């Protein structure tokens, strides 16, 4: 021990920095343990909210189409007395693409349902579509408000437009003769 100038012996004391280092060393293993436990439970909770088959959730599944990489939701919807398997275009990019350049889509599904966030009078065109289609327009309650038989326009130039009679909230495109009579309903059983 080194004598203190006052003549009194003083024991050496740890400074604030030494104390922080000591506490960090003491609690570091506990902090790692708590972080691992929280990560484990977070992983369990995340997995509990996922379906067994991620392609199927609540009767709907997401289907990527090879032509442009868009991933449309696929779901079963009632139309009148029928239940149809439909691709759903519910954002601006999907609605703009629609069934363009998708010759094979209507061989595996019954049609495409276009969902607008608000009633709109936006017309449809067959630009880039090589097969004839039928379209039905529906209001926000799912009641039919008109429709058209639409001719293909593969050249994408000078294509006619097919406007609704009244603003639509839903539009349903099917192969000719594939559009059932009646209102557009909700999900139907698989």
The H-assigned helical ranges of the chain are: 16-48, 92-97, 105-108
Q: What is the pTM of this model?
A: 0.63
Q: Counting every residue, how long is the chain? A: 190
Taking only the tens place, the pLDDT of each residue in 79-107 is: 999 999 999 988 888 888 888 866 666 77
What does the alpha-carbon distance between residue 64 and residue 67 come to, in Å, rounded to a whole number?
9
What pLDDT was estimated at residue 129?
A: 87
Taking only the tens place, the pLDDT of each residue in 17-63 is: 665 666 567 777 777 777 776 766 554 554 433 333 333 334 444 44
């Amino acid at each position: 021990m080194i004598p203190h100038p006052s003549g009194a012996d003083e024991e050496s004391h740890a400074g604030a920095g030494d104390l922080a280092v000591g506490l960090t060393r003491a609690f570091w293993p506990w902090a790692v343990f708590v972080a691992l436990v929280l990560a484990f439970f977070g992983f369990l909770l995340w997995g509990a909210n996922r379906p067994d088959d991620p392609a199927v959730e609540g009767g709907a599944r997401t289907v990527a189409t090879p032509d442009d990489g868009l991933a449309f939701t696929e779901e079963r919807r009632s139309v009148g007395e029928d239940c149809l398997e439909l691709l759903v275009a519910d954002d601006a990019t999907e609605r703009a693409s629609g069934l363009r350049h998708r010759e094979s889509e209507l061989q595996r599904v019954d049609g495409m349902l276009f969902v607008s966030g608000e009633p709109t009078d936006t017309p449809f065109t067959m630009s880039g579509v090589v097969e004839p289609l039928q379209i039905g327009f529906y209001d926000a309650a799912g009641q039919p408000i008109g429709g058209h038989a639409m001719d293909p326009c593969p050249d994408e130039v000078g294509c006619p437009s097919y406007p609704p009679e009244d603003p639509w909230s839903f539009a349903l495109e099917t192969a000719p003769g594939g559009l059932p009579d009646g209102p557009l309903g909700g999900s139907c059983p698989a």
